[in-house]
Chains A and B, each alone.
Chain A
Amino acid sequence: MRRHVPLALCFIAGVFMAIQYFIPHPSVQAWYERLLAWLQTLLAFAFLIGTVSLVRLHAHKIGHKVAGRGYSWVLFVGLGLMVGFGFKGRAPGSPFDFMFQNVQVPIEGTMFSLLAFYIASAAFRAFRARTLEATLLLLAATIVMLGRVPVGDLLHRSIPAATDWILNVPNMASKRGIMIGVGLGMMATALKIMLGIERAWMGGTD
């Protein structure tokens, strides 16, 4: 029940979804459409498991008086406000939309923009042309960085031309190779999961 039933369900669902691609029969396609809808529902519920875990973690912090628990209260206030506003209405201009546009969007955007500063710091401190490979990487990066901004077009017309060549020849060749390799890996992993060889998704020790 604990191991064999889930593995059997995984196998049946996986094999069905794989072979339906080759069977245009209406009854098979009808079940395929049904199962697609079920997978959507499962994904929606699975996504919200993260929210439940988040609430449990911060409730534990507050309950056990862990240092910094004041910020957990901030988190719960934000969560509560959004859920409360959301139930009242989600139209543009509503309090729900106001919080999204003026709290979530700017904070998330700003957090990711911090990376620009760190990449500059790393450029100075860590990017070293110690080996041939590293030198090639830095050279290619420099040409592309210059070629993809207007000042590169102004400096010399060969810079954007070199950038285009790098993108369309060596970059394309290597990315194509990686794409093929990853595609084969994806299929192998999918088969391993369906056949029960890969069982990490089950978790647990039983």
Chain B
Amino acid sequence: MNRLGKFLQIDRRWIFLAILIAVLAPFIWPMGLPIVITKPVQDLYNAVDAIPPNGEPLFISIDYSPSTVPELDPMALAILRHAFSKDIRVAVLTLDPAGYGLAERALEAVAAEFGKERHKDYVFLGFQPGISAVVLGMGINIRNVFPEDAYGTPLSEIPMMEGIRNYDQIPLLITLSGTAVVEAWVIYAHQPYDAQIGAGVTAVMATDYYPFLDTGQLVGMLGGMRGAAEYETLIDRHDAGVRGMDSQSVIHILIIVLIVVGNIAYFGSRKRAPETAGGDAAA
């Protein structure tokens, strides 16, 4: 095996170490690179901003689990901060059982930050199983699927939910999800009931939903940590999303370098292989 071939066989733990250094360095020496806002994020921000204060609530469906917290939690916090800063009422629900603890944590933290009052400014509806059944049920009557909030208070006794019957009284519903739950909201809420749906998704899913953005089935979309960073920039905050962008930049460049170097080494080792006796042509 020639030198390039041996280089390709390098212990992968050296690569792991390079990644570790690449992610840690910007935390210690931040670069503060500016973040440019893209149209899907601006559209979602505008849709939230257009909701009148102290009126019909913004619904946020926190449909993610702990595995996607770094991407979606910053989105949830940013949207909540935006809403509460504009005195927009918020109703939070979740279709993912693990989302229950995450939704509660995010909502209570931001509500306390802004001095918001439960049942007057925000409500946590809790978790309901069934995804499509829940989404369809909300189109008929929210009280069919959420008769009480997460703490047992009937919706009929919650002041901010007075007159909120179904999607006709919901100006915007944002789903934050790392799974196909976003599609369920588009298919079962927007399609039959013309509900206005926005989405915050993991970067893995983001490219799949551009057709929904194009046809207006989604009013706007945040994609991955970059989407969270853009939204934080729009609300003038410097939180986890923005903080992570420097590391993201460095690691992306490292991975591109690894791809290029790997390909150069691969093609280089293949070219040289016939010249050396017993060279490994498959390397």
Contacts and interface: CB of A to CB of B under 8 A. Distances in A.
Chains A and B in contact, CB within 8 Å: yes
Interface of A: 21, 29, 33, 36-37, 39-40, 43-44, 47, 92, 97, 100-101, 104-106, 108-109, 111-113, 116-117, 119-121, 123-125, 127-129, 138, 142, 145-146, 148-154, 160, 164, 167-168, 171-172, 175-176, 179
A78 to B, nearest CB: 15
Identify whether the interface residues of B are mostly helix, strand, loop, or mixed: helix
Nearest to B16: A117
Contacts of B70: 109, 113
B248 A108 contact: no
Most buried by B among A105, A116, A128, A154: A105
Interface in B33-49: 33-36, 38
Interface of B: 8, 10, 12, 15-16, 18-19, 23, 33-36, 38, 65-70, 98, 101-102, 104-105, 108, 128-130, 133-134, 136-137, 140, 144-145, 192, 203, 207-208, 210-211, 214, 224, 226, 245-246, 248-256, 258-259, 261-263, 266
Most buried by B among A43, A47, A149: A149
A162 B8 CA distance: 31
Nearest to A106: B66
A33 B142 CA distance: 12
B263 A150 contact: no
A72 B92 CA distance: 36
Contact of A125 (B8, B101, B250, B256): B8
A112 B129 CA distance: 24
A18 to B, nearest CB: 13
B66 A108 contact: yes
B130 A43 contact: yes
A164 B258 contact: no
Given A109-B67, A138-B259, 6 more contacts: A37-B133, A40-B129, A148-B226, A150-B245, A151-B33, A154-B34
A175 B70 CA distance: 26
A92 B104 contact: yes
Contacts of A101: 101, 105
Contact of A117 (B8, B19, B211, B214): B19
25 contacts: A21-B192, A29-B140, A36-B133, A36-B137, A39-B130, A39-B133, A43-B130, A47-B129, A101-B101, A106-B66, A109-B66, A109-B69, A111-B67, A116-B23, A121-B12, A121-B16, A124-B10, A128-B266, A149-B252, A150-B34, A151-B33, A154-B34, A168-B214, A175-B210, A176-B214
